[in-house]
């Protein structure tokens, strides 16, 4: 069973490791020369840092002691993981995937496998085509920068770049205007201010940014935000099969709890004293755009090194940007931290992954219902991202091997996608159809149950309820899956 993994970032390495252990003949293509994806030297901007709390950015079978490391530290961890589990030998670096086409068939695309055309990322057009039984797209949604089309670019005499391509020397001792409101925008603004630049940060609205500690700095955030009890405060999960008794907390109590969390977040972070940093979308709905506050950001704002404008961009001027309010943002360099486009340029248009509104249409956030033998890893986001990629990889491998507890029919898959998108648009507007983030444990329960595996992973009821999600509790899933399949075959 020949299987191609596209991308050697976190999702690709996780998928390759799981599929290899399940007996697939794995080949990994990646256009960069090292593993890591956005964490590799070719994929990140200077100053990029992982913002996950300690022990929330690790795989189940390799502890990661690094606390909010820079990109190089994350890349080092992924390199270590790929080497430990023999994935490096299957990776073809500097190899760009040009196209993925289904082998000719009268049935659903992919029924007879996939033709994958690749070429050297360094030398250009010449390439080769290989045929695979299965394809896993793990290239992520972070490799095609989105630059908004703003009139008047020819008037601006300075430099314009996306944060993905940014280097430190470009934002040292300059007038820097950063456009965007997410964690990357705040990181770039903080980095530029630390480098002696005068910074203007333009954002349409403020997003929720959490400090490393809550309860007025006494408790690490993960103890309050990443447990099963904290998930019980969220809107009810879309699938009632995974709604536990604790999830049925009265709405009035949930509302009060989130009001206290919002107040504590603003007070502990110092954002309550900054007028333009009050998010307009309340929690929990605002979690779809949440991040961690970069160290030093609040201090730079207070000192006047970072000027924040809640506004939108109208056009370029000779010396910067004109905003819709009529204000101007002067700049020597304009940095757009405006996210990435969810594009899969190597997939044929007939391979339906996005709908007309841009929503990802994936069964369980993994499989396009209109295809066979194709899966996408990296789009069912969980706050514990590496664990999420592991779980999705195990689920997809089980799907390919036809060992799920229940083999979903096409109509069932389409209906699940429709129902989930309606739910996501209601509880997390703007999520784009792939954000499960806050529901880490609910999502894990759903995937484990599909594979016929136990969902309670902690040692006892209280630990399961109160402790932050722990990747180590999910170690050994491959052996569990094989044991379950073996037991099922003996009983049938």
Cα 336 from Cα 181, distance rounded (Å): 10
For residues 330 and 176, the answer to whether their CB atoms sit within 8 Å is no
Residue 430: count of CB within 10 angstroms of its CB: 11
> Higher model confidence: residue 173 or residue 121?
173
Burial 379-392 (b: 16+ CB within 10 A, else e): bbbbbbbbbbbbbb
Higher pLDDT: 40 or 96? It is: 96
Q: Report how many helices (DSSP H) and strands (DSSP E) the chain contains, helices first.
A: 12, 20
SS3 content of the chain, % helix, strand, coil (to 5): 35, 20, 45
pLDDT at 350 over 70: yes
**Average pLDDT score over residue span 444-452:** 96
User: Is it the case that residue 98 has pLDDT exceeding 90?
Assistant: yes
Comparing C-alpha atoms, which of 435, 489, 441, 438 is closest to residue 467?
441
pLDDT 10s digits, 178-188? 999 988 999 99
Mean pLDDT, the chain, integer: 91
DSSP codes, 21-69:
HTT-EEEEE-SSSSTTGGGSTTT--TT-B--PPTTSS-BTTB----SS-
- DSSP 8-state assignment for residue 104: P
Q: Could you tell me the two tokens for 360?
A: 């990802």
- Is pLDDT above 80 for 21? yes
Three-state DSSP class for residue 154: helix
DSSP result, 444-490: HHHHHHHTT--S--SSSHHHHHHSBP-GGGGTTHHHHHHHHHHHHHH
Q: Any idea what DSSP says for residue 204? A: S
* Cα dihedral 378, 381, 384, 385 in deg (nearest 10): 20
The DSSP code for 281 is S
At how many degrees (to 10) do helices 10-21 and 71-84 cross? 10
Q: What is the pLDDT of residues 414-446, one digit of tens each?
A: 999 999 988 988 888 776 655 667 899 999 999
Q: What is the pLDDT of residue 377?
A: 96
387-to-69, 135, 204, 364, 451 alpha-carbon distances in Å? 18, 21, 32, 16, 16
The pLDDT tens digits for 461-485 are: 999 999 999 999 999 999 999 998 8
Place of tokens 């695309």: 109
Give me the pLDDT at residue 278, please.
Answer: 87
**Residue 490: band (very low, low, confident or very high) from pLDDT cuts 50, 70, 90:** low
pLDDT digits (tens, 9 = 90+) for 158-176: 999 999 889 999 999 999 9
Place 95 in a pLDDT band, splitting at 50, 70 and 90.
very high
Mean pLDDT along residues 195-217:
93
Average pLDDT over residues 103-128: 89
Q: What is the mean pLDDT of residues 276-283?
A: 89
Tell me the CA distances in angstroms from 297 to 66, 99, 194, 195, one per residue in order: 22, 42, 9, 13
DSSP string, 367-388: B-TT-SSEEE-S-SB-SSHHHH
In terms of Cβ atoms closer than 10 Å to its own Cβ (0-12, 13-18, 19+), residue 402 is exposed
pLDDT level of residue 6 (50, 70, 90 thresholds)? very high
What is the location of CATH 3.50.50.60 in the chain?
2-144+341-491, 153-211+270-336
CB 92 within 8 A of CB 29: yes
Cα radius of gyration rounded to whole Å, the chain? 23
The answer to whether 227 touches 466, Cβ cutoff 8 Å, is yes
Lowest-confidence region among 37-46, 215-224, 285-294:
37-46
pLDDT of residue 189: 97
Asked if pLDDT for residue 360 goes beyond 90, the answer is no
Task: Please state the rounded mean pLDDT for residues 292-309.
Answer: 94
Do 15 and 138 form a contact (C-beta atoms < 8 A)?
Answer: yes
pTM score of the predicted model = 0.93
State yes or no: pLDDT of 299 exceeds 90: yes
What pLDDT sits at residue 107? 87
Q: Residues 236-256: what's their mean pLDDT?
A: 94
Q: Which CATH class is domain 2-144+341-491?
A: alpha beta
Q: What is the model's pLDDT at position 435?
A: 61
Who has greater pLDDT, 376 or 488?
A: 376
Q: Out of 3.50.50.60, 3.20.20.220, 3.40.50.10490, 3.40.80.10, which CATH number does the structure's domain 153-211+270-336 have?
A: 3.50.50.60
Question: pLDDT category, 143, cuts 50, 70, 90?
Answer: low
With contact defined as beta carbons under 8 Å apart, do 451 and 478 qualify?
Answer: no
Taking only the tens place, the pLDDT of each residue in 320-349 is 999 999 999 999 999 999 988 777 889 988
**Mean pLDDT value of segment 93-116:** 93
Cis peptide before 184 (omega within 30 of 0): no
Q: How far is CA 322 from CA 157, 317, 328, 336, in A?
A: 14, 6, 5, 15
- pLDDT grade for 288, boundaries at 50, 70 and 90: confident
* Separation of alpha carbons 468 and 158, rounded Å: 47
Q: By CB neighbour count within 10 A (0-12 exposed, 13-18 middle, 19+ buried), where does 192 fall?
A: buried
β-pairing verdict for 175-179 and 333-336: parallel
111: burial class by Cβ within 10 Å (0-12, 13-18, 19+)?
Answer: middle
Would you state the structure tokens that stand for residue 240, as one six-digit string? 């009632």
Give the C-alpha separation, 453 to 211, whole Å: 35
Digit-coded pLDDT (tens) for 366-406: 999 999 999 999 988 888 899 999 999 999 999 999 999 99
């Amino acid at each position: 069973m020949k299987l191609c993994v596209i991308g050697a970032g976190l999702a690709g390495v996780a998928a390759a490791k799981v599929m290899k252990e399940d007996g697939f003949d794995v080949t990994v293509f990646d256009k960069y020369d090292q593993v890591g994806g956005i964490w590799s030297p070719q994929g990140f901007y200077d100053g990029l840092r992982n913002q996950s709390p300690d022990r929330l950015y690790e795989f189940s079978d390799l502890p990661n002691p690094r606390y909010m490391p820079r990109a190089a530290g994350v890349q080092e961890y992924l390199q270590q993981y790929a080497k430990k589990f023999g994935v490096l030998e299957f990776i073809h670096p500097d190899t760009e995937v040009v196209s993925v086409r289904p082998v000719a068939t009268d049935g659903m695309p992919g029924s007879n496998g996939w033709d994958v055309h690749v070429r050297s990322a360094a030398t250009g057009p010449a390439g080769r085509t290989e045929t695979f039984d299965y394809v896993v797209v793990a290239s992520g949604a972070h490799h095609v920068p989105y630059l908004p089309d703003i009139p008047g670019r020819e008037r601006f005499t300075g430099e314009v770049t996306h944060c993905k391509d940014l280097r430190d020397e470009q934002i040292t001792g300059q007038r820097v205007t950063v456009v965007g409101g997410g964690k990357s925008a705040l990181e770039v603004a903080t980095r530029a201010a630390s480098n002696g630049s005068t910074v203007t940060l333009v954002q349409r609205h403020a997003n929720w940014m959490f400090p490393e500690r809550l309860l007025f700095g006494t408790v690490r955030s993960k103890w309050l935000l990443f447990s099963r009890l904290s998930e019980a405060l969220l809107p009810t999960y879309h699938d009632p099969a995974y709604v536990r008794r604790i999830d049925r907390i009265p709405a009035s109590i949930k509302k009060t709890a989130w009001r206290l969390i919002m107040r504590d977040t603003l007070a502990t972070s110092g954002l309550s004293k900054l007028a333009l940093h009050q998010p307009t979308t309340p929690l929990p709905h605002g979690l779809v755009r949440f991040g961690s506050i970069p160290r030093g950001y609040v201090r730079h704002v207070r000192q006047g090194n970072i000027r924040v404008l809640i506004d939108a961009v109208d056009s370029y001027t000779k010396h910067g940007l004109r905003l819709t309010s009529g204000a101007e943002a002067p700049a020597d360099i304009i940095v757009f931290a405006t996210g990435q486009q969810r594009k899969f340029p190597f997939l044929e248009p007939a391979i339906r992954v996005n709908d007309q509104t841009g929503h990802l249409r994936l069964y369980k956030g993994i499989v396009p219902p209109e295809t066979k033998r194709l899966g996408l890893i990296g789009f069912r986001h969980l706050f514990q991202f590496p664990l999420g990629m592991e779980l999705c990889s195990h689920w997809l491998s089980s799907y390919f091997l036809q060992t799920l507890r229940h083999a979903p029919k096409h109509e069932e898959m389409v209906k699940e996608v429709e129902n989930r998108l309606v739910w996501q648009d209601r509880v997390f507007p703007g999520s784009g159809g792939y954000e499960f983030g806050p529901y880490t444990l609910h999502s894990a329960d759903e995937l484990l149950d599909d594979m016929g595996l136990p969902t309670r992973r902690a040692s006892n009821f209280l630990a399961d309820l109160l402790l932050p999600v722990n990747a180590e509790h999910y170690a050994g899933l491959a052996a569990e899956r094989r044991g379950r399949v073996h037991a099922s075959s003996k009983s049938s």
